[in-house]
Structure 1
Amino acid sequence: MTPEEQDLIMGLVFVPGVGRTRTLDEVLAHFGESDGGALALRLLLDAMERRDADDVEMALIVHGAADAPVGEFMEPLIELFPAEWHRDHEDIVSTLGKLRSPKTVPTLVLATHWVPEHLDFDDCRALAVKAIWALGAIPGEEARDALEGLRDAENEIIRENAVKQLARRGEL
């Protein structure tokens, strides 16, 4: 993706006091697409193939701006999550959390244990907390078992959030 195309997509991001400088229709027209979800998926798969962290971010911006269904994104995001070459681990967890799918449980559990290098500074463990809340929203035994396994985590933040989610689910 060219820098101009990245700037075009960045125009979809809401900036306080400024708003958005571009519309989704403008972005779709530039890329010759009529469906924001299809464009986002195409951009994501291309970014993954080229291992381009900036373009992963652009694909996620288009996906959010289009308010596209997450379903088609699930498998690529699960594959992308553990890669160290991008910086969108938190956004991926948030997006997977919207699915509330048992298929995402292993990835969400990984997000509670693994800290990507670019998030090593975060003592609050925001990535893990987002993953735990996503697990809390997934129905079924697999998510419950994952949360129960986190009740004994060494990290207090992880333990407390797992207990909160189990309580919220009525499974304490």
Structure 2
Amino acid sequence: MGGGQAMIPEERDLVMDLAVGLGEGPTRTLDEVLAHFGESDGEALALRLLRDAMERQDADDVEMALILHAAADASAEEFLEPLIELFPADWHREYEDIVWMLGRLRSPRTVPTLALATHWVPEYLDWDENRALAVKAIWALGAIPGPEAQEALEGLRDNENEIIRENAVKQLTRRGEL
């Protein structure tokens, strides 16, 4: 699907209803949203919407696609490339969700992106002394088997930031590598 249209406000509202709001659960089911879009597969719809939003560099629609991704409990390998491509782009604000999703895929192919997330701070997270994005990325790296993730974590043991150092050591210990 090339050159798609932006989602209309009603469609965004529909997808937002899948998200868990403050103090309340979702107010729509995935089936209701799928029916509106004429789809039967939530993972496929999330992927189509994600690729389309990326093509248009539409931050709001990226957010909608990722909400749908979570609601559909998607973990398809097909999300790997788009998420890796999307992560460093500066026109969206979904860095933390992307790191979480890449972590769930547990693929050695995500290691370079997760390693980037441990030391790169997007502008909107400049205030965050706790380095939440980096910590999420370190925990995601900790869950990925293999030497690539191992090396990335070992490289963080001497980081100047105490939080990053501590979390890297925790993950290495948990992996039984220390």
Is TM > 0.5 for Structure 1 vs Structure 2? yes
State the TM-score, normalizing by the size of structure 1.
0.97
Partner residue in 2 for 1:148? 154
Structure 1 residue ranges, 4+ long, deviating more than 6 angstroms after superposition: none
Decide which of 57, 63, 66 is 2:69's aligned counterpart: 63
Is the contact made by 2:75 and 2:104 (CA closer than 8 Å) also made in structure 1?
Answer: no
What is the alpha-carbon distance in structure 2 between the residues aligned to residue 4 and residue 22 of structure 1?
Answer: 13
Partner residue in 2 for 1:167? 173
Alignment of 1:10-159 (within 5 A): 10-159=16-165
What is the alpha-carbon distance in structure 1 between the residues aligned to residue 22 and residue 44 of structure 2?
Answer: 28
* Structure 2: segments with no counterpart, 5+ residues: 1-6
What is the alpha-carbon distance in structure 2 between the residues aligned to residue 132 and residue 17 of structure 1?
Answer: 29
Quote how far apart the aligned CAs of 1:16 are: 4.8
Letter in 2 for 1:41: L
* Structure 1: segments with no counterpart, 5+ residues: none
Quote how far apart the aligned CAs of 1:17 are: 4.4
What is the alpha-carbon distance in structure 1 between the residues aligned to residue 104 and residue 21 of structure 2?
Answer: 24
Counterparts in 2 of 1:114 and 1:34: CA distance versus 1, 3 Å: same
Aligned identity (percent) is: 79
Quote how far apart the aligned CAs of 1:70 are: 3.4
Counterparts in 2 of 1:168 and 1:21: CA distance versus 1, 3 Å: same
State the TM-score, normalizing by the size of structure 2.
0.94
What is the alpha-carbon distance in structure 2 between the residues aligned to residue 46 and residue 60 of structure 1?
Answer: 12
CA RMSD, 1 decimal: 1.0
Letter in 2 for 1:53: A
Letter in 1 for 2:64: M
Quote how far apart the aligned CAs of 1:124 are: 0.3
Q: Deviations over 1:53-84 (max 9, x none)?
A: 11111001111111122311110000000011
Decide which of 6, 10, 13 is 1:7's aligned counterpart: 13
After TM superposition, the structure 1 stretch with the greater mean CA deviation from structure 2, 8-17 or 155-164, is 8-17
Letter in 1 for 2:125: L
What is the alpha-carbon distance in structure 2 between the residues aligned to residue 22 and residue 117 of structure 1?
Answer: 33
Quote how far apart the aligned CAs of 1:29 are: 1.0
Partner residue in 1 for 2:3? none
Secondary structure, in 3 states, of the residue corresponding to 1:121?
coil
How many residues are treated as equivalent by the alignment? 172
Is the contact made by 1:113 and 1:128 (CA closer than 8 Å) also made in structure 2?
Answer: yes
